[in-house]
Each structure stands twice: as C-alpha cells, then as structure tokens.
Amino acid sequence: MDEKKQGYFEIIKETGRFILITLLVVVPFRFFIAQPFIVSGDSMVPTFHDGEYLIVDELSYSLRDPLRGEVVIFRYPNDRSKYFIKRIIGLSGETVLVENGVLKIVSSAGTSTVREPYIRSQELMDMSVRLGSNEYFVMGDNRNESSDSRYWGPVPRKELIGRAFARLLPIAQADVLPGNFSPALTSN
C-alpha cells in the first residue's frame, strides 16, 4: 500500500477509534448518569429563571432517598411527556399541612413549621395532604405562580428524573447544586 493510502487508512482508523470511545463514554453518561434540562417558566423564580441550562444528576436517587429542599426534575404526573422542576417539601409518609397560611410538616417526630429563606412571598390556602410510600410533595419557589402538588397531588418516586446538579447557563450564575437548601423545621 502506498504512503498516501496508508495515511488515509490511519486517519479513518483513528477517527473510528475516537467515535467508538466517545460513544462508550458519552452515551452511558447521558442515559444513566446525567442529562441536560432547560428551565421553562417562572415557577421557580427567584432560584431559577426561564431559559437557564441545568445538568440533572440521574444517579443519586438510585443510591439514596430524595431529601427535603432538593430541587428535582420529574415527569409531570398528568402528562408524562412534560418535565417539571420544583422543590421537595414533603417526604414519603409525612403529612403536608397548611394552617392559616403557615406551611407545616407532620411526621412521626411531631409537627414542625417549615422555614424557607428562598421564598419571597406566598399566599397559601389551608390544606392537608398525606403522602404515601414513595410519594413526594413538591412546590415551586414562586408559590403564587406555580402549578405544583397543591393542585395535582404528590409526585411518585418513579417519576423523579433526578436533582438539579449544576447550572451551566447563564455563565454568571454557574454553580454546583444550585438552589439546594435544607428548609429548617421548627417544632411547634
């Protein structure tokens, strides 16, 4: 084989090797570990704004239970083709209670008031929702503009895609574990 053909063969071989390695690394990463998500709407303002680009950690919830305060991406229970972003407020087995506009959690440890420093304002209607096994109560940070568990009920664990792991855009607000707070529970 002359040098020119051998050079082309080497280029094709190296390109094929690069593509194969890329597929073996990127595809499993994308489908089993992380995926991109673009925020749509204002339900999570001021924490997240329309058009922000996030990376979703899909692995954590196969290793541990979701935690209160984590920002999660999930399939909307009433239309599984849609993906929503909200904050976990109530955990499996708890009761989410609103009395006189005050958000409370009732668990085996007693009743606690939820303190959320990331909320600007909220007008909450009185309600009580008992969460079953593997159910989570989620709410948007922009409570007055959010369609969430108050209106369509708990999110089953099987619908959770993952937690917001990184905000990549806008670059000025890029960070890891954006918006994750652990709301303080104050015993009543």
**pLDDT per position in the chain (188 positions), as tens?**
577 777 778 888 888 788 777 766 666 555 656 678 889 999 999 999 999 999 899 888 989 999 999 999 999 988 989 999 999 999 999 999 998 888 999 988 888 888 888 787 778 888 899 999 999 999 999 988 899 999 999 999 999 999 998 898 888 888 888 887 777 677 76
Task: State how far Cα 90 lies from the chain centre.
Answer: 14
For the question of residue 4 being annotated catalytic, the response is no
Residue among 60, 62, 86, 107 flagged as catalytic: 86
Topology of the domain covering 39-187: Umud Fragment, subunit A (2.10.109)
Structural domain spans, the chain = 1-33, 39-187
The residue assigned the tokens 């600007």 is: 120
Cβ atoms within 10 Å of 146's Cβ, excluding its own: 22
- Which long-range contacts does 33-36 make (Cβ < 8 Å, 24+ apart)? 33/57, 33/58, 33/59, 34/58, 34/59, 34/162, 34/165, 35/161, 35/162
Model confidence pTM above 0.85: no
**What pLDDT shows up at residue 11?**
82
Residue among 4, 40, 43, 82 flagged as catalytic: 43
**Of the candidates 80, 122, 131, 130, which has an alpha carbon nearest to the alpha carbon of residue 102?**
122
For the question of residue 86 being annotated catalytic, the response is yes
Indicate left, alpha or beta for 51 from its phi (over 0: left) and psi (-120 to 50: alpha): left
